Structure 1
Amino acid sequence: MDKNRLEELRQLVEDVMYASTKKEAQYPIKRLEFMASTLRGEIDGYLFGKLGEVISYAKEASGQVKNKDHWISCVERCWYVFESRVDKEARADSEPSETKT
């Protein structure tokens, strides 16, 4: 996954989390869910599951909800794992593979 796509995902997550109403969050949620669905074949199941958790928690945090800070914290924890693993895989893909002679 390229950096631009990762940044776009993150921006959509932010838009959902910090939407002032659930209705305001609907459009970014749809875009976020669509982007996630396009990644299904590109990322492994674990990463796809983490992204699903990020989306679920972001939905919970949207609007005027009790424990908003809790839900944002959940998003941040899952996002950290997701982003770290994406970065790790990107670095592994960019390293030249060793060839045996």
Structure 2
Amino acid sequence: MVDKLQSLGFLKDLIQKREVLLRKKEFYNDKVIKERFLIMENKEKNRLANKRLVSYRKSLANINKELLELRREINAKKTRTFKIQDGEQYHGFIEKGADK
């Protein structure tokens, strides 16, 4: 029982970490859009804006990589279930290796 609770806590932590990364991804996507407009409007500041854009894109690439790793880790911990009971369909997730 304690092991199951620890697994659920670990899964919850992974999901929270994923949500934080998704917020960061949205933040950097907004920054990329703003920098593109800045580049179009201000040709003089083009070089500096391009440097920032490269930095933001690197941050986005790292975040996407972490999100992919987290998604794989989360999916390794749970499996999709489907059952029909009393004529009704039930969908959900259970931990892999848990008693069915």
TM-score between both structures, scaled by the size of structure 1: 0.48
The structure whose residues are more often strand, as a share, is 2
Q: So what's the TM-score if we normalise by structure 2?
A: 0.49
Larger radius of gyration: 2
More helix by share: 1
- Which of 1 and 2 has higher RCO (CA within 8 Å, sep 6+)? 1
